[in-house]
Amino acid sequence: MTHPASVIRSALLFLAMLVLSGPSYADDMKFVPRASLAMVAYDFTQSPRPNALAPTGINNNEFPEVNFNVTFKMLGVGGTFLMNGYYFDVSYQKSLEEEDTFTLEDPALPGGVFMETFKGDREDYAITFGKKFLDNSLGLYGGYKAGTSQATGNQGQVLSFEEDGFFVGANYGWRIGDKGVLSINLAYADLDGDLKEDVNNPAFASPAVLAVPLDTDATSDAQGLSYGLSWSSRLSDNVGYSIALDAKKYTFDNVQDVDPSTIPSDEFEEEFVGVTASLLYLF
């Protein structure tokens, strides 16, 4: 069976051949820089780890599900090079810091309850190249992206999740008179994920008491879809804007920790739903 990553790399190679086969006259090239502001509902979930708290008896010896659920405010910059229907795009986004609270109730815990407040942020970057068809209505593209989510708890726990990989996709746009363009977008990604987690919560147990270590340094992989809807138009001859609604969900499995004695989660899951407003300058 062909691995999805091989399919994506083949699609990217095909797109690269299309780009390289096109004209390469610098006079025909245009550059469109942009700045963006996004509101992104972000949810990272790490599934429970059975028997990871043995023999403490806390939570039936199960290290509980870890969930970081926040709404990120993300600032972004990027730019697109355009030439004869081909394009190359780079983008970067960085969020402000947000916080979420984890709560576990169990009679075996001191006071019967444990709470930890996490503060964290997110950053993403991507490179994309593609080709427009059908009088610029249809676009085929591919590229590479990477992102990092990290959070630190006030009780000592530190979590960092990084993912990166290739993607391919397509979009189609309808011109609405002279008002603007309404577009739909669909993409498929093949990603590798790395979770690092330092668990120093004294409320659970001293590491010397636990049967297995709680710290995690695990790899995983995922394939998933992203889809979206956008509207773009012009404010003047040189200034344009776009508003986009996007959603994506990735479930990372095949989790393997570098320490074979660690009991890892079965899977990690990331879900994004966001609205992005961008301002563009058309040279």
Higher pLDDT, 14 or 28: 28
Q: What is the pLDDT of residue 114?
A: 87
Asked if residue 231 has pLDDT above 90, the reply is yes
Mean pLDDT, residues 131-135 taken together: 93
Q: What is the largest CA-CA distance in the chain?
A: 72
Query: pLDDT grade, residue 143 (50/70/90)?
Result: very high
Q: What is the pLDDT of residue 28?
A: 73
Mean pLDDT, residues 204-231 taken together: 85
Mean pLDDT, residues 173-196 taken together: 96
Rounded CA gap, 273 and 283, in Å? Answer: 31
Q: What is the pLDDT of residue 207?
A: 59
Rounded CA gap, 266 and 255, in Å? Answer: 6
Q: What is the pLDDT of residue 156?
A: 84
Task: State both tokens at 88.
Answer: 């190359």
The pLDDT mean for the chain works out to 88
Q: What is the pLDDT of residue 136?
A: 87
pLDDT in tens, 92-129: 999 999 999 999 888 888 788 889 999 999 999 999 99
pLDDT in tens, 155-184: 888 999 999 999 999 999 999 999 999 999
Cα angle at 181 between 86 and 179, to 5 degrees?
130
Q: What is the pLDDT of residue 268?
A: 94
CA distances to 135, 175, 191, 224 from 75, rounded to whole Å, are 32, 28, 23, 24
Query: Backbone phi, then psi, for 248, in 5-degree steps?
Result: -155, 150
Region of residue 165 (phi > 0: left; psi between -120 and 50: alpha; otherwise: beta): left
